[in-house]
Amino acid sequence: MRTLVVNPGSSSLKLSIVDGGLQVAARTVENWDGSPDPRPLQDVLAVSGPVDAVGVRIVHGADRDGPHLLDDDQLRALEELVPLAPLHQPRSLALARMTADLLPGVPVFGCFDTSFHTGMPAHATTYPVPREWTERFGLRRYGFHGLSCAYALRTAAGMLGRATEELNLICCHIGAGVSVTAISGGRGVDTSMGFTPLDGVAMATRSGGLDPGLLLHVLRVGGLSTAEVESALNYRSGLAGMSGTSGDVRQVLAARAAGDEHADLAIRVYLHRLRREIAAERVSLDRLDALVLTGGVAEHEPALVAELLDGLTHLGLAVAPDAGLGVGDRVISPDGARTRVLVVEAREDVEIAHEIDKARFAV
Ligand SMILES: Nc1ncnc2c1ncn2[C@@H]1O[C@H](COP(=O)(O)OP(=O)(O)O)[C@@H](O)[C@H]1O
Ligand SMILES: CC(=O)OP(=O)(O)O
Ligand SMILES: [Mg+2]
């Protein structure tokens, strides 16, 4: 079965045609401004020819477990989640509508970042706020990057020769969005992103978790509107906000190498928060088999990965001295290490096509 996968991230639009688990055509728009332009879709379809299904990555699916056919009712229901993922949800829904128009008669499925985390225990999903708020506002930790985690888990299991259900992993997705997830029994058991993908560690342009008192202070003394605060936390924080350079790790690293002290501090904060979160996720696992690093930064910045791991030796994590030279999915921990460290290419496209194949076969 041939599937067109549409993956709108916060910094890029990734289009991929997957057939039998393999990518047969692809098109990536880097530094994507979010405009729903049909041309990249038309280009990739011109290369691949007809497709049997479309899979759209949708970041917020609330408690939806597995792919859903995106009919008008589903799209309307998913529209209600826009305020909980303002960077992603509108883009995904616009693209779902556009592909349905471009490919009449081809089923369009939504596959959700949240599905992998729907089995999280209540002690990980519940916020310590008045119970009345939890019920009235539907507050809970959802977790995101679940399609990436599911693919990383399947790949790690293959690399380590173990069944997915028996592996205990920490998966760090380090792209424009960054998250850390504890995985056990084939599912997420705790994760750094929360009710929204703004929580957790520092990201390219997002702040990650903050002291709620800090936000109250800024609102009280700064006279800022909700929209101004939302925009600052989503687009002008994280690496971009701290460095004043860019949210792109490549540019911040270049500025640091040129002696820029703000870029240097930004990288130190970014790594410190990642290490803190990795240590925090460790408490949800009775044993850690492997740390899996995935996403554009993990895949392409071996020196930064080595710097990250340098501060994690107390968790039994280390990188082999010659690890930086590898490409593709690889083990980077030293030979014989009890806890392995893996770098796995983020392939949400392959995972989405896999989920749709499974769902259609089950019908
Ligand atoms: N050689 C590289 N190619 C692409 N991205 C890179 C490279 N080196 C570092 N990166 C980082 O990876 C980030 C993109 O990661 P990716 O997982 O593709 O993001 P997303 O899917 O969240 O848009 C870029 O912002 C950049 O900082
Ligand atoms: C959930 C999320 O942050 O996704 P991305 O990294 O693609 O922006
Ligand atoms: Mg991504």
Chain segment 252-266, per-residue pLDDT in tens: 999 999 999 999 999
The ligand whose atoms approach the alpha carbon of 253 most closely is: 1
Whether 113 is a known active-site residue: answer: yes
Q: pLDDT per residue over 106-119, tens digit each?
A: 999 999 999 999 99
The H-assigned helical ranges of the chain are 39-48, 72-79, 89-102, 122-125, 131-137, 146-160, 212-222, 226-235, 238-243, 249-257, 261-282, 296-300, 302-310, 348-362
Pocket of ligand 2, beta carbon within 6 A = 9-10, 59, 113, 144-145, 175-177, 197
C-alpha 327 – ligand 3 centre gap (Å): 19
Summarised one tens digit per residue, pLDDT across range 120-169 is 999 999 999 999 999 999 999 999 999 999 999 999 999 999 999 999 99
Q: Return mean pLDDT, the chain.
A: 96
Q: pLDDT band at 37, cuts 50/70/90?
A: confident
CA of 337 to the centre of ligand 2 (A): 31
Statement: residue 225 has pLDDT above 80: yes
CA-proximal residue: ligand 2, atom 7 (nearest) = 9
For residue 363, pLDDT over 70 is answered with: no
Question: Which residue among 145, 198, 207 has the greatest number of ligand 2 atoms within 8 angstroms of its CB, and so is best to mutate?
Answer: 145
Flag whether pLDDT at 35 surpasses 90. Answer: no
Which listed residue (113, 190, 289, 357) is catalytic? 113
- Cβ neighbours, 10 Å, residue 268: 13
What is the structure's pLDDT at 294?
Answer: 98
Q: Which atom of ligand 1 is nearest to the CA of 7?
A: 21
pLDDT band at 36 (very low <50, low <70, confident <90, very high): confident
pLDDT digits (tens, 9 = 90+) for 177-220: 999 999 999 999 999 999 999 999 999 999 999 999 999 999 99
Regarding the beta carbon of 300 and ligand 1, being less than 6 Å apart is answered: yes
Ligand having the closest approach to the CA of 10: 2
Protein residue whose Cα sits closest to atom 22 of ligand 1: 176
State in Å: Cα 9 to ligand 2 middle: 5
Residue set of the binding site for substrate = 57
Helices (H) and strands (E) in the chain, counts: 14, 12
Look up the ipTM and state it: 0.96
Cα 215 to ligand 1 centre (Å): 29
Q: How many CA atoms lie within 13 A of 296 on its CB side?
A: 17
Please give the annotated binding residues, written as ranges.
Answer: 57, 173-177, 248-250, 348
Own/partner contacts of 323-332, CB < 8 Å, gap of 24 or more, are: 326/302, 329/155, 329/159, 331/159, 332/302, 332/305
The percent of residues in the chain predicted with pLDDT above 70, rounded, is 99
List the single range of 200-204, 221-225, 291-295 with lowest mean pLDDT. Answer: 221-225
Give residue 324's pLDDT band: very low, low, confident or very high (50, 70, 90): confident
Decide: 32 and 12 in contact? Cβ < 8 Å: yes
